[in-house]
Amino acid sequence: MIPRFSPTAGWSEIFSFLGDVMTAPQKTSSATTEFEHAFAEYVGRKHAVFAPSGRMSLWLVLQALDYLPGSEIIVPSFTYFAIPAVIQLLGLKPVYAEIDPLTFELSAASVEAVMTEQTRAVIPTHLFGRTCEMTALKTLCDARDVTIIEDCAQCMGASIGDKKAGTFGTAAYFTFGITKNFTTFGGGMLACEDDALYSRIQELMNTFHSPEKARQIKEGVTALAMRLATRRPLFSASLGLLLRGASSRSPDFVQTAFEEHVSALSVQRIESGKWRPTDAQARAGLRQLKSLDTKNETRRERGNALISNLKKMDCRGIPLAANADGDHIFVSFALTRADRYAFGGRLRRRGVDTATGYMSDCSSIPELGGESEGCLQAARVANEIIHLPLYPDLTERDIKRIANAVLFADHP
């Protein structure tokens, strides 16, 4: 069976990281500074700050911007729950904009529809490796004196025209978890141009503590276990067999095991996240930067090849390419199906694993400031989305096999 996922980090990268953690002091020094400079140069920003995670990067940016309590921050209705949860925790108000039914992203029109005099910032998400259309959104926000904070958690290395995603707003944040297309075994990054904003963020980071070595070891061992578990023969003979027999009416046990419970964030959870990434992570990041563009180009090739195969079969719901100036590096390959669990079950019977992802219709979750009716398109997508395997390890034969499995699943 073709696994739903394959870790970005290879065997040598994982063992190098673990060896570094075991032997090097748990501190932040020259390697971290070197990584921050290299990252800023790669993305095209003046400043970069290596942070504990994507959510803590957003927390740092919003803290540094120091908006008045009750200020409104516009976010996509279909998003990761931690984004509105961080906004709420800081005494700000998440406001949900409807998503485009084909791209699942914000548009300038949907943002304008929910703007008020209290709007202070917009957080567009470059979703699944596909870049948002930023020109119209930037024009709108500049005219209203509204800050743009780019969510680049799923698009590391993607471009918009001759600029990298993450360079169109006042700030941008990234996340480098094991499942991302770029990983430092935990951690994240925020990037900005403004010296004063950078200084405030640095002051906040100076209050963070060094992490326990056990945290770093756990990340490395988890990556090692994922790399081992997703080796094709082992996966097919173990998890693959169990997944074939899993229920076709609810999330599978792998999804449930790794899924974070959707809820508001507590002060305690944020406090526990205030740790400084280490030099071992920074060195992992420097190694990853060297191969990022090559791996992203492979993702583009695999994604476009899968689209081509699916088009030949008249498959519906194929992901749209980005706009003319945009990019799509296929961090994920998402379809929508009304019967997604049954559809996924049929895919597995043809030897293709799948997942429903971790994004939610946050606009319908009262705990996150949503309303019971929410946004119609976000609700539909949240209930119908399903992800096909898409990563650099896939071969041309794998791509054809996935396409054939989709044809079977649509016409059993």
DSSP 367: G
Paired residues of 119 in beta bridges: 72
- Arithmetic mean of pLDDT, 331-358: 94
Paired residues of 51 in beta bridges: 188
The pLDDT assigned to 58 comes to 97
**Contact indicator for 146, 97 with CB cutoff of 8 Å:** no
Q: Per-residue DSSP letters for 65-78?
A: HTPPTT-EEEEESE
Question: 222: helix, coil or strand?
Answer: helix
The CATH fold assigned to 1-412 is Aspartate Aminotransferase; domain 2 (3.40.640)
Helix runs in 267-375, H state only = 267-272, 279-312, 340-349
The answer to whether the pTM exceeds 0.85 is yes
Paired residues of 352 in beta bridges: 2
Whether residue 26 has pLDDT greater than 70: no
Helix runs in 103-155, H state only = 108-114, 134-144
Half-sphere exposure of 89 (CA within 13 A, CB side): 22
The pLDDT assigned to 290 comes to 95
**Contact indicator for 362, 94 with CB cutoff of 8 Å:** yes
CA nearest to 1, candidates 332, 405, 412? 405
Whether residue 247 has pLDDT greater than 70: no
Whether residue 239 has pLDDT greater than 70: yes
**Contact indicator for 251, 356 with CB cutoff of 8 Å:** yes
In whole angstroms, what is the distance from residue 104 CA to residue 361 CA? 11
Where are the extended beta strands (E) located within 352-412? 360-361, 385-388
Residue-wise pLDDT for 260-289, tens only, equals: 878 888 888 888 899 999 999 999 999 999
Ordered by start, the domain boundaries in the chain are 1-412
Question: 354: helix, coil or strand?
Answer: coil
In whole angstroms, what is the distance from residue 232 CA to residue 376 CA? 39
**Contact indicator for 327, 164 with CB cutoff of 8 Å:** no
pLDDT band for position 385 (50/70/90)?
A: very high
CB atoms within 10 A of CB 139: 11
Amino acid sitting at position 64: A
The pLDDT assigned to 57 comes to 97
